[in-house]
Chain A
């Protein structure tokens, strides 16, 4: 068992959602000596409220990582590629963990906790999901890079005995959360959110504090070493309940239930589109990194650069929307000036929202002693306080 209070702790990705909350816990609850590697100081105000040591640097820079890891007992690796194109994102995620693992080995770090994701299991089936499920590539840059990162982490444990532990959070929500708090709020304000099959699909939502609790257990419990843990709440909720909580918070009704056949209607519309262009559009929608890869070809980049330079910004946005958007709802619900637009879902998003996957947290309970303290209601109550304070509702 490692004691946090006596440890020096490095957090990468500390300016982000989960890393930021982790730092708050480490400082406020454990009085820990926290170091943070900061790529972009403009995002640092939240963690700068604490007496922590901030190292300027990027996880892709081995020397910066080495400097930050030196003399640390525990490393929480929360950083991943979120900025730039697919290549850049993948590099930050994969190269980032490689640098962190290498430096941790060199400086004899006692524990590395890597924040992975449920997405490493790819498209999940209905029924229970636990850590014995096969990892699968999904051709999504975020998920596939995280899968590569996990492989690196396990290889450092297997080959060199580096004490690594991995947590795989599900749908993480809470204050400052972009993917499952700020994004749904913005979507509900600006448009109508489709509830696939009436929102009956299962949402394995977990409040950020429970994820942080699991990270801390993974950093301190001996049983955590060499293991990966799915981290979610006790029970999933439905997507209807999840989005409903935000609708109540905002005081608006902005979801629109649609059956698969209604959604399939638009799919047919697209498959009737003639020829290659429809196929390219579908490919780009499903795999946005393809577009990035095309744009990175030198000749294309030049042409695109010229086009960008002479195209007004609003037109660029329109072009991007036209290229990437699939609007299954709009055929059936024609857009009027007073009506908010129905927000499009890609076919893989439809699959994601209709799934009845039930994430099991038995392993984390058994080996880590993890016990979620929050359900949707409790988590949303705190989230709402932050949302109101932030003037978002």
Chain B
């Protein structure tokens, strides 16, 4: 039996605490050997809770302590830190978004190729059974020719951010688009292929956007609409309209509903993997667990992970194109045009 893979978790924010650490506790064959955070007391507290032997403040101190690393740092550090690790042959699972731009993504991919280390991108929704199911329904022509889709994803923001990095352009790279949108724009291309042209609007006024809308024209003539928000509770589903029916799929769980064309009735339920009698669970920990299993298997079996650097790069490319083509979103209540309105 192989010795246990020693993992470093670099960045001990909410996702490490709520996702990676509890998920790894459920897995055989790997152990968290070192936690890295410049807030040492935070890392020490988590290390104590999860029996992690080492705590360091700087990721450059992990070279001898780790075979593989999870990079869960502020977005702007994803590329430089991952490249440093990959160059030393340390396998990397980098949180989404993979990087702030495609140039950085390419450098990460190249670093992995040169050292032979495995690079995976943490787009964990790809591990929801529904994501593959939807792709199969589209690719096999089950829904007929696809005409259009729309995705609406938004929650009044409640992620327990410990610092302002999420809300600064230079550290986060943007707002809701680069954060939640890293998932949504991945799903867009995973299901519908490459994008031909797009129109992008957001409400950023010198900071980072809280709301954005994207109109997409895909290479295969499918028309798409995406609405993302940090200030509105939206339906958090994708509606996909094909010749033979309309499919509505949750963007965050495995629930789907199918309304065949011409029928008054629809069916709704959860997508299960063929061998599963019941759903494997859809909590953050459950999803991170399957994501980690895939990454570890890819490392030990020397195969590609499900979400490779090349796959992760795709959503970054689309996000970059959106920001490049940005137009302001009209919000009439923000600057009302009333003749009497004088201050």
Contact with A along B147-167 (1 / 0, CB 8 A): 000000000011111111011
Interface: A272 (CB within 8 A): no
Give the Cβ gap from A38 to chain B, nearest Cβ, in Å: 7
Interface: B175 (CB within 8 A): yes
Interface: B111 (CB within 8 A): no
> Across the interface, which residues of A come within 8 angstroms of B331, CB to CB?
386, 389
> Across the interface, which residues of A come within 8 angstroms of B60, CB to CB?
none
In the bound complex, do residue B341 and residue A373 qualify as a contact, i.e. CB atoms below 8 Å apart? yes
In the bound complex, do residue A49 and residue B157 qualify as a contact, i.e. CB atoms below 8 Å apart? no
Contact with B along A308-341 (1 / 0, CB 8 A): 0000000000000000000000000000000000
In the bound complex, do residue B167 and residue A41 qualify as a contact, i.e. CB atoms below 8 Å apart? yes
Interface: B218 (CB within 8 A): no
> Across the interface, which residues of B come within 8 angstroms of A176, CB to CB?
231
In the bound complex, do residue A389 and residue B232 qualify as a contact, i.e. CB atoms below 8 Å apart? yes
B-contacting 9-mer, from A21-29, A108-116, A118-126, A286-294: A21-29
In the bound complex, do residue B210 and residue A48 qualify as a contact, i.e. CB atoms below 8 Å apart? yes
In the bound complex, do residue B232 and residue A38 qualify as a contact, i.e. CB atoms below 8 Å apart? no
Give the Cβ gap from B77 to chain A, nearest Cβ, in Å: 18
Contact with B along A36-52 (1 / 0, CB 8 A): 00100111111111111
Once A49-B210, A50-B205, A390-B232 are accepted as A-B contacts, the answer to whether A216 and B332 lie under 8 Å apart by CB is no
Interface: A295 (CB within 8 A): no
In the bound complex, do residue B333 and residue A45 qualify as a contact, i.e. CB atoms below 8 Å apart? no
Give the Cβ gap from A187 to chain B, nearest Cβ, in Å: 17
In the bound complex, do residue A42 and residue B158 qualify as a contact, i.e. CB atoms below 8 Å apart? yes
> Across the interface, which residues of A come within 8 angstroms of B232, CB to CB?
389-391
Once A50-B205, A382-B333, A391-B234 are accepted as A-B contacts, the answer to whether A45 and B167 lie under 8 Å apart by CB is yes
Interface: A117 (CB within 8 A): no
Contact with A along B62-89 (1 / 0, CB 8 A): 0000000000000000000000000000
> Across the interface, which residues of B come within 8 angstroms of A386, CB to CB?
331, 333
Interface: A145 (CB within 8 A): no
In the bound complex, do residue A51 and residue B207 qualify as a contact, i.e. CB atoms below 8 Å apart? yes
In the bound complex, do residue A24 and residue B334 qualify as a contact, i.e. CB atoms below 8 Å apart? yes
Give the Cβ gap from B207 to chain A, nearest Cβ, in Å: 5
> Across the interface, which residues of B come within 8 angstroms of A212, CB to CB?
343
> Across the interface, which residues of B come within 8 angstroms of A213, CB to CB?
343
> Across the interface, which residues of A come within 8 angstroms of B230, CB to CB?
45
> Across the interface, which residues of B come within 8 angstroms of A383, CB to CB?
333
Interface: B204 (CB within 8 A): yes
Interface: A283 (CB within 8 A): no
- The complex places the Cα of A48 from the Cα of B172 at a distance, in Å, of 12
Top 10 nearest A-B pairs by Cβ distance?
A51-B206, A48-B167, A45-B230, A45-B210, A382-B333, A41-B161, A390-B232, A213-B343, A45-B157, A386-B333
Mind listing 14 A-B residue pairs with CB under 8 Å?
A: A28-B334, A41-B166, A43-B157, A44-B164, A44-B167, A48-B168, A49-B175, A49-B203, A49-B206, A50-B206, A51-B207, A56-B164, A216-B343, A373-B342
